[in-house]
Amino acid sequence: MNVLITSGGGAKGAFSVGALRQLMTTTGIRSFDLISGTSTGALIAAMVAAGKIPEVTDIYLSNSNADILNKQNAIDNIINNKPYLYDTTPLENQIRQQMTDDAWNTIRQSASILCLNAVCLQTGRLSIFSSRPIQASIHYDSLVINSSEMLIKSLQSSSNQAVFMPPVTIGDRQYVDGGNREVVPTRAVVTNLPSGEEHRIYILSNNPDTQQPGSDNYTGLLDVLMRAVTIFIQEVRENDLEVLRNFQHNATAPVKVFYISPEAELDPDFPTGLRFDRLLMQAWMKQGQLRAKAILEQYPGGNW
């Protein structure tokens, strides 16, 4: 089976889009048996499942912050019990523009299984929204997407970073960014791949493989916050990859893993990925393309 895993990272998803385009060019793959995405990676995953590669490229090359977020007055939101710093109506509008009934029908009828990761605030558990029923697991709750509206809500749930962006209500529960539990969404993959078969797993990560050195001294409130976020993302990412390593180690048939990530932090000042700068995203997309080309050519059997 061919598997695609797309990580969280906000605007840094441009790196994944560049890597994805190169991956499809180099390997000739046009669809995947299983696609698992978190946050910005969920948006990319859904676009891949819907066959919208040109569209997802345009999105990451043309958007600015105003096309994604409306900044709010933090004090007003605290006083009025609004648990977020940014209104995400522009992002919702873009998701609705792409995830139409036709797009949902393409995803639903596809042979691919699409998995989108979020976290439920009420249970604290990883919640996986999938285009078809998936295997149950003690590590997550699973919910089957049954309409284009639920697909839209699932994508909002997966991509809305807690505190920065509003929780999304589905049924009687609230959901936030899946990156709180899985930055690189591996749980759905290892649980749903058949044993005894050969698998090729392509991971597109927007964060470097190793923790980057920090500053000599942190004095500003935001500087400390952003450094803490970077450390948190690194810890979650390492745990995610360990899940996949254990699966690969115990597999009875070859599991070839192609791990494509930047060599350094793409945007050290904004580890949340909430800086949608067109020139930066253009550079990151090119970097993703070159990085994927190098890895796929140098390691035809996988680089793990």
Domains plus CATH for the chain? 2-298 (3.40.1090.10)
Which three-class secondary structure state does DSSP give residue 11?
helix
Which residue type does 19 have? A
pLDDT at 86: 81
User: Which residue blocks in the chain are alpha helix, DSSP H?
Assistant: 13-27, 40-49, 53-62, 74-79, 89-98, 101-109, 148-159, 187-192, 221-250, 278-298
Name the one residue in this structure whose structure tokens are 């470097």: 208
pLDDT (tens place) for every residue of the chain, 304 residues total = 999 999 999 999 999 999 999 999 999 998 999 999 999 999 999 999 999 999 999 999 998 888 887 777 767 776 777 776 788 899 999 999 999 999 999 999 999 999 999 999 999 999 999 999 999 999 999 999 999 999 999 999 999 988 788 999 999 999 999 999 999 999 999 999 998 899 999 999 999 988 878 888 888 887 888 888 888 888 998 999 999 999 999 999 999 999 999 999 999 888 888 899 999 999 999 999 999 999 999 999 999 8
**Catalytic residue set:** 39, 177
Name the one residue in this structure whose structure tokens are 């589905």: 170
pTM of the prediction?
0.93
Which residue type does 147 have? S
CA Rg, the chain, in Å? 18
* Residue 28 backbone zone (phi > 0: left; psi -120 to 50: alpha; other: beta): left
Q: What burial letters (b/e) apply to 245-283, b meaning 16+ CB within 10 Å?
A: eebbeebeeebbbbbbbbeebbbeebbbbbebbeebbee
